[in-house]
A and B are shown apart, each in its own frame.
Chain A
Amino acid sequence: MGVLNNSLPDIGPVRAVDSAIGWGRKSSIWPMTFGIACCAIEMMAVYAATFDLDRFGAGVPRATPRQSDLIIVPGTVNAKMAVRVKRLYDQMSEPRYVIAMGACVCGGGPYVKWGYNTVKGVHKIIPVDIFVPGCPPRPEALMDGILKLREKVGRNQVFARQAQTAADMDGRYAAAK
């Protein structure tokens, strides 16, 4: 929505439009088909019949980063893979979200001490929105992570002006005082 992004005053009608857009976005999150390691199998279990992620509108994995809003990073990222993960993330279009699934991508997991080529957490490479720890996290945990992400997506402001930088926030903070 280009130039209008975050340019309108933060008033009731604008926020109503924003929340409508947020509702639309959060109800159709399209994750990317992307599996790395053990956690990917639990992620597949979440898509499958028993847990059925489709109930939350996020059950249609897209095969390409260009069509997806969400990248779930399920599994250990090593030096060779990190370059690819970063490139995949860069290829996604805004708004984009990242869920770090599993102990490995949250901070190194079992490979933190002796792993000579593992990246100790995917947040070293790309910014992460939701961390889902566990090794592997139970499907319920991943679903909880996705529900949390839905809340976050719904809160985002599209048109209404929002504090973006530390300076803006400081100004607002001072004004509120």
Chain B
Amino acid sequence: MNETDIHSKLAGAVVSGVGALDESAKDPFVVVDPGSLVPAVTFLKNDADCRMEMLNCVTAVEREDCIEVVYHLSSVTHRHSLTLKTRVERPAGGTHESWIPEVPSVAALYASADWHEREQWDLLGVRFTDHPDHRRILLPEEWIGHPLRKDYVYPHEHGGMPLDLDAVPLYERDEATPSEPAAPRPSGTPLVQPPNPNSDRPDAGGVAPADSDGDLRSIKPGSNDGGGH
């Protein structure tokens, strides 16, 4: 069957909420309402002519006015595939970060949806209702924000680990001020090079080269000596 046949079957079976097939697209797709998503996917999976055994991919896409969740389904038996989309409109005046759209989960139908949906929640902040295990998957559980949103602000530090290019290395920081103030970072902060105490160490008894004076001073007592004793 091609996409047109599948679409007509689907539109006949699921009473409402199945949009027209967009045939002009490179991969023809069907838009369904979030409310009819689960019945539509159930039909596509169980119908003998469709038999979409495999859910290849779940993708959330942030667009200007909506967030779109795209399902790529394919059938190994019949060797056809279909793209299914569902859209959640952005509420008027809704800011990006605080707006969490909700879409029903299909994890009960496809085990593969479990991890894919968790990933979309993690990276794009789409909540899948009735998901069995709705946690972040790639980023640490305490991460703030959803990085694939267009207005995501990059963090300077996470869990005590510096993420900036010009951050001061952990072992260089003063004990009194364990963590650097994260934001705002003054522009033009010099890039701090990691000192390497051992390699700069002059031979014992030898004469330190005169021009390395400044380097020697930069080694703080108590900073980690790479080894040797």
Contact = CB atoms under 8 A, between A and B. Distances in A.
- A touching B, CB within 8 angstroms: yes
Given A97-B226, A125-B170, A158-B228, A116 B163 contact: yes
A172 B229 CA distance: 20
Interface stretch (B69-77, B126-134, B196-204): B196-204
B200 to A, nearest CB: 9
Given A116-B154, A119-B161, A170-B217, A127 B201 contact: no
Interface residues of A, number: 50
Interface in A95-141: 95-98, 107-108, 112, 116-121, 123-129
Nearest to B216: A169
A83 B223 CA distance: 19
User: For the complex, would chain A's binding face be called helix, strand, loop or mixed by DSSP majority?
Assistant: loop
User: For the complex, would chain B's binding face be called helix, strand, loop or mixed by DSSP majority?
Assistant: loop
Contacts of B170: 86, 124-126
B208 A116 contact: no
A10 B204 CA distance: 7
A129 B229 contact: no
* B170, B197, B219, B227 interface centre (most CB from chain A within 10 Å): B227
Nearest to A112: B165
B155 interface: yes
* B139, B202, B213, B228 interface centre (most CB from chain A within 10 Å): B228
A67 B54 CA distance: 46
Interface of B: 139-140, 143, 147, 152, 154-155, 158-165, 167, 169-171, 194, 196-199, 201-205, 207-208, 213, 216-221, 223-229
